[in-house]
Amino acid sequence: MAVAQFVVNGLLVGALFAAVAVGFALIWGVVDIINLAHGEMVMLGGYTAYWLLSLVTGNAEGSVLLFLATIPVVIAILFVVGYGLQRTLVSRVIGTDIFLTLLVTFGISIAIQQLAIQAWTANPRSIQVAFTDPSLSVAGLVIPKMKLVGFVGAIVLTAVLYLFLQRTRTGRAIRAVSQNPEAAELVGIDVEHTRAVTFGISSAVAGGAGAFIATILNIQPQMGLVYTLKSFVIVVFGGVGSIPGALTGGMLLGTVEELTAGLVSSQWTLAVSFTLLIVLLVVKPQGLFGTEAQE
Amino acid sequence: MSTESDGGMLRSVVSPERIDRLFDLCGAHSWKLILVSAVLGALPPIFGLREGYMMTVVSEMFLFAILALSWDIVGGQTGYPSFGNMAFFGIGAYTGAILLKNFAVSFPLAVAAAAVVATVFAAFIGLIVLRLRGHYFAIATLGVLLASQQISRNLTITGGASGKILFDVPPGIVFYYFFLGVLVVEIVVVYYLSNTRFGFILNAIRDDEGKATAMGFNTTYYKTAAWMLAALFTGLAGGAYGMFNTFINPQTAYNGAWNVELIAMALMGGTGTVAGPVIGAFGLHTLIEYVETAFVGWQLVILGGAVIVTVIGFPKGVVGTLREYASEMDYYERGGMAATDGDNPEVTGDE
């Protein structure tokens, strides 16, 4: 039964990993950049929710509805951050050497990291969401309500992103730029603007996921790199540009981590994820779901 | 764009011919230049600099030059930008520390063993990651670094998260000459190799690996050899660093900030050159030392900013930018694009 419990925990947390990874894959697919500062967007999203809640209630505690009310604000703020980063810095290296694009985002990542330490100290923080009855019990399995809320939130974020890309005019423009920037420009799409919007949306989704992560796990300024790498694992597993692939990959990674933590020791979870990353890259660099990684 | 304004500023100070002549001069007397620099580097302790803060700073400068130059063998010369070179350093540091502390092996032997272990590890990891390219290679190497850090944190022989404190280490002067010696040997090796068939093949792999393979070179062999060479020097430096610092833990042995710093040093000095990473290491380390004392807690912000500015402003680094500037003369003398090395001049442009 313990194993089933670990799997359930893993699936619940894994959906959040997937939501983070979907944004990461979006930038990779559309702008052709590995955004090493993606994890920092998760961190900033978590802190934004934390401070918004503190602003309203005095401490970072509140009811579920109050917490959920902060999510749209987090998304809006992180969108602006992402849009600005692309417009001011990242756009200048698009089309140059891959190494330079990696370095720019890495530079952004470490700068944001230390600014966050300066602003908020390195102590881990978390948002406390109050419930009268903290967990559900289904067939002997314990399901913490907040994890369930986070799970649903992650699925909603991913679904909204999917619908946005499929149904709206901006979404179609993003997909057009992803397929062929020159042709997109020819039919009158503002490529620079579309790329910046993509960056903004990706950061917004990561930030939204970060807010949920702040309620379930905890947030601290140096958490970012781990989430960037987890996203990479998930995207490599699921294939770039495949949202179902990312969801599966995220939940699988969550399950593997929870099983490692439960059956071996929680100290080994990161070592296992990073080793999994290397193994996956070697065995299946094109992903299990995507046909071609460079789409 | 920005390169033009740099050129304009440069032009008022020194003309392209001068720089061109300087490059010719350095090229013609390169071996003498290396010898003179080595002697100059060996002088300070003789004139009284034997311990204290300055001694540590200069030793670390040599250390970083070793790391940056090692990174450049694979990152700059071969075109495989690794984000995990500190893995070799950490493995070297742990090998040295464990041998010294748990098995009472002498300093020279422990350091040599550290280099061997790092090189063997590189051969093994290279087989896996050198098959990847671009984004995948960069992230895989970062994964290797983090996985080794996590594993070192969890084993008992490495002292776990609290690390190892080392006693009975040689005095600082030994490390000064050790790092200087390794650096000089590495400069000689890399400079020698860059003018051999081996070096040319590495550059060919960087420029177009498909073509290099088509020309009949076993690129895997050359890539792995370069990768192991980089690990050898990084492991040597790492092995000695543990004892130099008298303490290692997962954070210091696989230092994430250093991992960025050594890439930034190679980049700022000029990747793919021998002098570039060394100049970059000396320059950036001086700056970092200053920042660390003057603005505690802001190092990474400044480092990140410096990296961004370098990448956007002059991605060829000091040596690369100067060389481009100097080759302007060839451009005017011979005319046309034939004189330039065929690089896209708009590489810093916005699209």
CA B73 to chain centre: 8
Option in A225, A268, A277 nearest B154 (CB): A268
B138/A99 Cβ within 8 A: yes
Token pair of B7, please? 């050129």
Mutate to test the interface with B, among A114, A117, A234, A265 (most CBs of B within 10 A): A114
Q: Which residue has the higher pLDDT, B52 or A289?
A: B52
pLDDT in tens, B5-19: 455 566 667 777 777
Predicted confidence band of residue A295 (pLDDT cuts 50, 70, 90): very low
Mean pLDDT value across residues B138-143:
86
pLDDT in tens, B72-111: 999 888 988 888 899 999 999 999 999 988 888 888 999 9
Phi, psi of B105, deg, nearest 5: -80, 150
Cα B258 from Cα B254, distance rounded (Å): 8
Neighbouring C-beta atoms of residue A135, cutoff 10 Å? 14
Chain A CA closest to residue B75: A99
Question: Is 50 exceeded by the pLDDT of residue A294?
Answer: no
Token pair of B205, please? 């792999």
Q: Which residue has the higher pLDDT, B25 or B93?
A: B93
Question: Is 50 exceeded by the pLDDT of residue B342?
Answer: no
Mutate to test the interface with A, among B77, B129, B146, B155 (most CBs of A within 10 A): B146
Q: Which residue has the higher pLDDT, B43 or B11?
A: B43
Question: Of A203, A210, A217, whose CA–CA distance to A154 is shortest?
Answer: A210
pTM attached to this predicted model: 0.83
Residues of A with CB under 8 A from a CB of B: 28, 34, 89, 91-100, 102-104, 106-115, 117-118, 225, 229, 232, 236, 265, 267-268, 270-271, 274-275, 277-278, 281-282, 285, 293
10 Å CB burial of residue B103 (0-12, 13-18, 19+) is exposed
pLDDT in tens, B248-265: 888 888 887 888 888 888
Option in B83, B150, B308 nearest A107 (CB): B308
Q: What is the DSSP letter of B75?
A: I
Chain B CA closest to residue A121: B297
B304/A108 Cβ within 8 A: yes
Q: What is the DSSP letter of A153?
A: H
What's the pLDDT score for residue B81? 87
Cα B67 from Cα B231, distance rounded (Å): 9
Question: Of A82, A47, A13, A9, whose CA–CA distance to A230 is shortest?
Answer: A13
Token pair of A116, please? 């966050």
What's the pLDDT score for residue A194? 92
Question: Is 90 exceeded by the pLDDT of residue A66?
Answer: no
Q: How far is CA B15 from CA A69, B11, B279, in A?
A: 62, 5, 21
The answer to ipTM > 0.85 is no
Identify whether the C-beta of residue A96 lies closer than 8 Å to the C-beta of residue B347: yes
Question: Is 80 exceeded by the pLDDT of residue B338?
Answer: no
Kindly list the domain boundaries of chain B, sorted by start residue: 49-255
Predicted confidence band of residue B351 (pLDDT cuts 50, 70, 90): very low
Identify whether the C-beta of residue B177 lies closer than 8 Å to the C-beta of residue B261: no
List CB contacts (< 8 A) between B315 and chain A.
96-97, 100
Chain A CA closest to residue B81: A99
Question: Is 50 exceeded by the pLDDT of residue A64?
Answer: yes
A93/B351 Cβ within 8 A: no
The number of helices, as runs of H, and strands, as runs of E, in chain B is 16, 2
Identify whether the C-beta of residue A29 lies closer than 8 Å to the C-beta of residue A295: yes
Cα A13 from Cα A252, distance rounded (Å): 10
What's the pLDDT score for residue B44? 80
Option in A107, A265, A285 nearest B307 (CB): A107
List CB contacts (< 8 A) between B83 and chain A.
102, 106
What's the pLDDT score for residue B190? 92
Mean pLDDT value across residues A85-104:
85
Question: Is 50 exceeded by the pLDDT of residue A292?
Answer: no
pLDDT in tens, B158-201: 887 788 888 878 888 889 999 999 999 999 999 999 889 999 99
Identify whether the C-beta of residue B85 lies closer than 8 Å to the C-beta of residue B262: yes
Predicted confidence band of residue B348 (pLDDT cuts 50, 70, 90): very low
Question: Is 90 exceeded by the pLDDT of residue A202?
Answer: yes
Predicted confidence band of residue B344 (pLDDT cuts 50, 70, 90): very low
Token pair of B348, please? 């810093």
Predicted confidence band of residue B234 (pLDDT cuts 50, 70, 90): very high
Question: Mean pLDDT across chain B, nearest whole number?
Answer: 83
Predicted confidence band of residue B67 (pLDDT cuts 50, 70, 90): very high
Option in B143, B154, B304 nearest A107 (CB): B304
Question: Is 90 exceeded by the pLDDT of residue A81?
Answer: yes
In terms of average pLDDT, the best of B36-45, B140-149, B323-332 is B140-149
Please tell me whether residue A103 adopts helix, strand or coil conformation.
helix
Mean pLDDT value across residues B128-155:
86
Q: Where would I find the H helices in B77-133? A: 86-102, 107-129
Taking the CA of residue A251 and the nearest CA in chain B, the distance in Å comes to 20
Question: Of B328, B226, B308, B327, whose CA–CA distance to B267 is shortest?
Answer: B308
Identify whether the C-beta of residue A253 lies closer than 8 Å to the C-beta of residue A24: no
Identify whether the C-beta of residue A73 lies closer than 8 Å to the C-beta of residue A48: yes
What's the pLDDT score for residue A1? 65
